[in-house]
Amino acid sequence: MSAKSQPYILATHMSYTTGPKVVIVGAGVVGGAAAHYLTLAGAKVTVVDKDPIGIHASGLALGGLGPLSGAGIPNPIGTLSIESWQLHLDLSKSLTDEYDFKLEKSLNIIFDNQQLETIRSLLDWQKSQDGFKVEWLDKSDVLDIEPRIVSAFLGAVVTEPTGIIDTYKFNNALISEAQRNGADLVVGEVSNIQSTGSACNVSIDGGKTLICDKVIVAMGPWSHQASEWLGFNIPITPLKGQILRLKAEGPPIPHISWSGADIYGSYAVTKSDGLVWVGTTEEHGGFDDRPSSIGRQTIMRSVVSILPQLAQGEIIKHTACLRPLSPDGLPVLGFLPGNPKIVIASGAGRKGILLGPVMGKSAADLVLNGYTSSNISALSPDRF
């Protein structure tokens, strides 16, 4: 039976919550984090998703946690990124289910002077952040750490700690923890969201309607579908990314990243499954989430140019997923303009796993208190 044709299923729990009734549309990392923090605060939460947990970007992404670089860092979301890193550290200790959280060092390999200038502009800010060690290493020092890298590079920025997790397990751990705290999980496809008077109605295909006090729209790359229901354009589009998992000889590969002419933000790292994960692509091709031979060839060409021995690696698995992308590459997070009963939380692009906890917690704060202490002023949905 396909996900879309699955019947409405409501898990039942003994209710002991006294807070507001909240429906979260979307059970990815953002929705799962929101459910976790809401249930901790006593809210009565129902999470709705049309698909099983973790079969999209929240469960297929690499899971690299690098809070000191990426879109919008250091401004305007550097502080938010580090806040989410701290939440990841807390969750790694507090969530019941294990999800292979690992602290490590990462190497960002620099090949040309233009990349070097970009990196140098960030170094002072990165070095000023408490709890991190960031330094520039010349080529010889980098090769002492990982001698298999090709020699045609200038040096690398080494950052520690960074993190890496099993995203599928993490997504499921958040949802499971929320369920243990009283949340309900509904399998069904939302067809409408209405805000009338003091209540919200969330319609699900098959005729079921959930009545609640507040709604969080965390639908990932499908968030734009809610635009018609809410009468407000949510400008989220899908950004496809493909990943290969290789079985390769030799010692584990530390987390190495680089940029190239035909692929942006590439990486290779040995994860807890013993496989070398290499990726990724950035493809604007609608909702086609199928792996492609072009994607495979692009990734392999890039990684072999950095780590030639991986040309002999055996491709064990090839996946693709769709990340939610906003026009400016930053998350969309805040109240639906003019409606404090509906919160939008989506659009983190390739930073969705890192930013998921702080986005979910901020959305929970808005629902519970009408405000959040996190600085999300640059992320308001009405900025577009």
Task: Residue 139: give its domain's CATH number.
Answer: 3.30.9.10
Of the three residues 301, 325, 349, the one that is the final residue of a domain is 325
Q: 364 has which bridge partners?
A: none
Residue 340 has pLDDT above 60, yes or no: yes
What is the residue whose two structure tokens read 């031979």?
293
Of the three residues 325, 346, 361, the one that is the final residue of a domain is 325
* Arithmetic mean of pLDDT, 198-213: 94
CATH code for the domain in which residue 201 is found: 3.50.50.60
Same domain assignment for residues 244 and 228: no
CB 255 within 8 A of CB 267: yes
Provide the domain limits for residue 213.
Answer: 9-59+168-236+328-383
Do the domain assignments include residue 72? no
Q: Which of 202-216, 253-267, 345-359 has the lowest mean pLDDT?
A: 253-267
pLDDT tens for residues 347-380? 999 999 999 999 999 999 999 999 999 999 999 9
Do the domain assignments include residue 1? no
CB 235 within 8 A of CB 224: yes
Do the domain assignments include residue 87? no
Q: What is the pLDDT of residue 8?
A: 27
Of 248, 257, 242, 245, nearest to 104 by C-alpha is 257
Same domain assignment for residues 250 and 284: yes
The confidence band for 289, taking pLDDT boundaries of 50, 70 and 90, is very high
Q: Say how far apart CA 134 and CA 137 lie, in whole Å.
A: 10
Other CB atoms closer than 10 Å to residue 98's CB: what's the count? 11
Do the domain assignments include residue 315? yes
Same domain assignment for residues 244 and 320: yes
Global pTM? 0.93
Of 21, 76, 28, 25, nearest to 331 by C-alpha is 76
Residue 118 has pLDDT above 90, yes or no: no
CB 38 within 8 A of CB 368: yes
Of 380, 3, 358, 50, nearest to 186 by C-alpha is 50
* Arithmetic mean of pLDDT, 205-229: 96
Can you list the alpha helix ranges (DSSP code H) found in the chain? 29-40, 57-60, 78-94, 113-127, 139-145, 167-180, 226-230, 293-306, 352-369
Residue 354 CA, distance from chain mean position = 6
What is the residue whose two structure tokens read 């429906």?
23
The alpha-carbon radius of gyration of the chain (Å, integer) is 21
Q: What is the pLDDT of residue 260?
A: 59
How many structural domains are present in the chain? Answer: 2
Do the domain assignments include residue 287? yes
Same domain assignment for residues 230 and 315: no
Indicate the average pLDDT of the chain: 93
Same domain assignment for residues 262 and 316: yes
* Arithmetic mean of pLDDT, 300-329: 97
CB 64 within 8 A of CB 164: yes
Please report, to the nearest 10 degrees, the dihedral formed by the alpha carbons of residues 252, 67, 168, 352 taken in order. Answer: -140
CB 334 within 8 A of CB 216: no
Q: What is the pLDDT of residue 127?
A: 97
The confidence band for 13, taking pLDDT boundaries of 50, 70 and 90, is very low
pLDDT tens for residues 131-166? 999 999 999 999 999 999 998 999 999 999 999 999
Do the domain assignments include residue 147? yes
* Arithmetic mean of pLDDT, 30-56: 98
Residue 3 has pLDDT above 80, yes or no: no
